[in-house]
């Protein structure tokens, strides 16, 4: 069921409580989509969390939703994990050490022509391109992981609705791939 907050489900709140409980004694500052800022103020590491990215997918039984976590230090994105909670697939990255899906190193697609590309969308772009096919599955973090793994050839975010918890973990995984 939805909560009184626009776009939030009860499952978002439950997942947020579970993650914050796990991190409650950690020396980190925590920024969560669901509960805001908590933990140690001005800590050297900040953990940014989206407890349930694509909660509408989860609520409707669509198996494309994740938990996304990214740790940042003063130099930027340090470590990330994205878990497709419907399938159990785990994506991880550590700055300077590569990106992995279930322990196997990731590499992006080698497609270079848009006409040959399969592109994931988040909203419609201002102008459609002549890609081969497109997908709109509604989970920013997993779409970025699919891009890092070469399953899709591009990702276009056609709107301004994503916040750092939606994309930071997937972005580090892409950079490391």
Q: Encode pLDDT of 109-151 as tens digits.
A: 999 999 999 999 887 777 777 888 888 888 999 999 999 999 9
Angle in degrees, 0-180, between the axes of helices 140-148 and 164-176, rounded to the nearest 10: 10
Q: 58 and 65 in contact (C-beta within 8 Å)? A: yes
- Is 0.85 topped by the overall pTM? yes
Q: Encode pLDDT of 1-22 as tens digits.
A: 888 888 788 999 999 999 999 9
Ramachandran angles phi, psi of 144, nearest 5°? -65, -40
Q: 37 and 46 in contact (C-beta within 8 Å)? A: no
């Amino acid at each position: 069921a939805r909560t009184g907050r626009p776009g939030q489900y009860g499952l978002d709140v439950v997942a947020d409580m579970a993650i914050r409980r796990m991190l409650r004694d950690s020396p980190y500052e925590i920024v969560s989509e669901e509960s805001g800022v908590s933990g140690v103020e001005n800590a050297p590491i900040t953990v940014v969390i989206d407890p349930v990215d694509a909660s509408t997918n989860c609520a409707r039984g669509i198996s494309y939703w994740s938990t996304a976590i990214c740790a940042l230090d003063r130099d930027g994105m340090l470590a990330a994990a994205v878990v497709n909670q419907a399938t159990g697939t785990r994506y991880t990255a550590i700055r300077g050490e590569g990106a992995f899906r279930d322990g196997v190193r990731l590499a992006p697609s080698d497609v270079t022509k848009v006409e040959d590309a399969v592109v994931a969308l988040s909203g419609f772009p201002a102008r459609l391109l002549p890609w081969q096919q497109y997908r709109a599955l509604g989970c920013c973090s997993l779409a970025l992981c699919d891009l890092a793994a070469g399953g899709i050839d591009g990702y276009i975010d056609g709107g301004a609705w994503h916040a750092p918890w939606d994309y930071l973990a997937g972005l580090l995984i892409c950079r490391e791939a």
